[in-house]
């Protein structure tokens, strides 16, 4: 089976964008691939984290993967820092990546503006991400649209290394779904919904109170128009329609017909209904899973062992190509 790798940062506040851009796709297509789903804690520390919260967030994210329907029959779930090969290949790739390539990354520009002190690790984030992906001979990387540029960079880094030192890495492809690959903030539909954005009414949290979620959705910023149509020039309505489409699986024409002549209040209510119908069972399974931390720790330990076997083989190949080891 073709190999999939993807990951999410355990920085808390998981939201509907993470679900639709990443987890939902992973679950839907998991039986077509040999999957590695990582909890990328070393990425989370590129910005300040509270240690006790981080520790909790790692285990909670494992529970969320499972609650969303990731099956251990198809997937290895593990924590990035449990497999040291990520850091080692990350360093190697740092030494192979022109600084100009990193300077072009739009995520770095966005995120660095929001930090008082910008850590060097924030700039080097994409080379660690390239290591994450390349260690598993990954063919397919299912991600949200915001990661497109980082996957392109991963391909460039791998191609450059292969060219300079000989065939070493498999060149991966991004898998970005056409629907809801960039879920926007409820408070501002021109900004991507993000874990790191803590503004009130910004996000649709996966694990938040569902009544509060409905309220936030009813207050979602739209525009002064009234027509309910898929239209990128009206990002608020377009965002709600995209969420609705992703969660119902209906096509655009059917959805536009459904809402013809209706007001925005009706649309918001309908989207809130399908969001809550998705999140309610997810939260129930999540609560059951987090009640057994020893079980989760066991899954992560076995996951790291399996991941390390694959990763260490690739790492050794890279070291040897460079004339090391
Ligand atoms: P942060 O703001 O800390 O970067 P994040 O919300 O971007 O958090 P990540 O852990 O960086 O979350 O990303 C995890 C996955 O979720 C990635 O595949 C990313 O592309 C996807 N993703 C993140 N935000 C969205 C979004 N708004 N819409 C669709 N997919 C998203
Ligand atoms: Mg992100």
Token pair for 195: 């874990």
- Say yes or no to pLDDT of 121 above 90: yes
Q: Domain 210-287 belongs to what topology?
A: Tyrosyl-Transfer RNA Synthetase (1.10.240)
- The answer to whether the beta carbons of residues 177 and 29 sit under 8 Å apart is no
pLDDT tens-digit readout, 34-63: 999 999 999 999 999 999 999 999 999 999
Mean pLDDT across 210-221: 97
pLDDT confidence bin for 122, thresholds 50/70/90: very high
Distance 55 CA to ligand 1 centre (A): 20
Q: CA neighbours within 13 Å on the CB side: how many for 6?
A: 30
Residues whose CB is less than 8 angstroms from the CB of residue 56 and which lie 6 or more positions away in sequence, other chains included: none
Residues at CB less than 6 angstroms from ligand 1: 8-9, 11, 17-18, 20-22, 143-144, 146-147, 181-183, 192-196
Find, among 265, 262, 260, 259, the residue nearest to 218 by Cα: 265
Which amino acid residue places its CA nearest to atom 13 of ligand 1? 8
The rounded distance, in Å, linking the Cα atoms of 239 and 231 is 9
| Confidence (pLDDT) at 78 | 99
Residue to mutate, 25, 146, 186, ligand 1, most ligand atoms under 8 Å from C-beta: 146
Q: Is 103 annotated as a binding residue?
A: no
Q: What mean pLDDT is reported for the chain? A: 97
Lowest mean pLDDT among 73-77, 216-220, 225-229: 225-229
Q: Is 144 annotated as a binding residue?
A: yes
Residue to mutate, 22, 68, 186, 246, ligand 1, most ligand atoms under 8 Å from C-beta: 22
Mean pLDDT across 297-317: 98
Mean pLDDT across 254-281: 97
How is the chain split into domains, by residue range?
3-176+293-322, 210-287
| Confidence (pLDDT) at 196 | 87
pLDDT tens-digit readout, 161-200: 999 999 999 999 999 999 999 999 999 999 999 998 989 8
| Confidence (pLDDT) at 138 | 98
ipTM of the complex: 0.98
Residue with tokens 């999939």: 4
May I ask the CATH class of domain 3-176+293-322? alpha beta
| Confidence (pLDDT) at 213 | 96
Question: 246: helix, coil or strand?
Answer: helix
- The answer to whether the beta carbons of residues 182 and 146 sit under 8 Å apart is yes
Q: Is 273 annotated as a binding residue?
A: no
How many CB atoms sit inside 10 A of residue 8's CB? 23
């Amino acid at each position: 089976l073709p190999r999939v790798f993807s990951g999410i940062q355990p920085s808390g506040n998981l939201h509907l964008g993470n679900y639709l851009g990443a987890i939902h796709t992973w679950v839907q297509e998991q039986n077509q691939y040999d999957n590695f789903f990582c909890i990328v804690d070393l990425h989370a520390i590129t910005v300040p984290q509270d240690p006790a919260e981080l520790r909790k967030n790692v285990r909670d994210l494992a529970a969320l993967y499972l609650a969303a329907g990731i099956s251990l029959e198809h997937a290895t779930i593990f924590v990035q820092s449990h497999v040291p090969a990520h850091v080692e290949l990350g360093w190697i790739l740092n030494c192979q990546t022109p600084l100009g390539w990193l300077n072009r990354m739009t995520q770095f520009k966005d995120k660095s503006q929001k930090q008082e002190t910008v850590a060097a690790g924030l700039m080097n984030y994409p080379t660690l991400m390239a290591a994450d992906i390349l260690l598993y001979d990954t063919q397919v990387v299912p991600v949200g649209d915001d990661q497109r540029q980082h996957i392109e960079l991963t391909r460039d880094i791998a191609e450059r290394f292969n060219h300079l030192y000989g065939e070493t890495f498999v060149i991966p492809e991004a898998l970005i779904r056409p629907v809801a690959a960039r879920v926007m903030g409820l408070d501002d539909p021109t900004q991507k919904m993000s874990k790191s954005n803590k503004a009130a009414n910004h996000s649709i949290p996966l694990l938040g109170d569902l009544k509060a979620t409905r309220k936030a959705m009813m207050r979602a910023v739209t525009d002064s128009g009234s027509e309910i149509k898929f239209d990128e020039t009206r990002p608020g309505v377009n965002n709600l329609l995209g969420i609705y489409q992703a969660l119902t699986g209906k096509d655009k024409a059917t959805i536009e017909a459904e809402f013809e002549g209706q007001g925005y209040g009706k649309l918001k209510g309908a989207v809130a209904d399908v969001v809550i119908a998705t999140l309610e069972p997810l939260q129930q399974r999540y609560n059951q899973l987090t009640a057994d931390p020893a079980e989760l720790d066991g899954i992560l330990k076995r996951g790291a062992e399996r991941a390390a076997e694959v990763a260490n083989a690739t790492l050794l190949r890279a070291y040897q190509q460079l004339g090391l080891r």
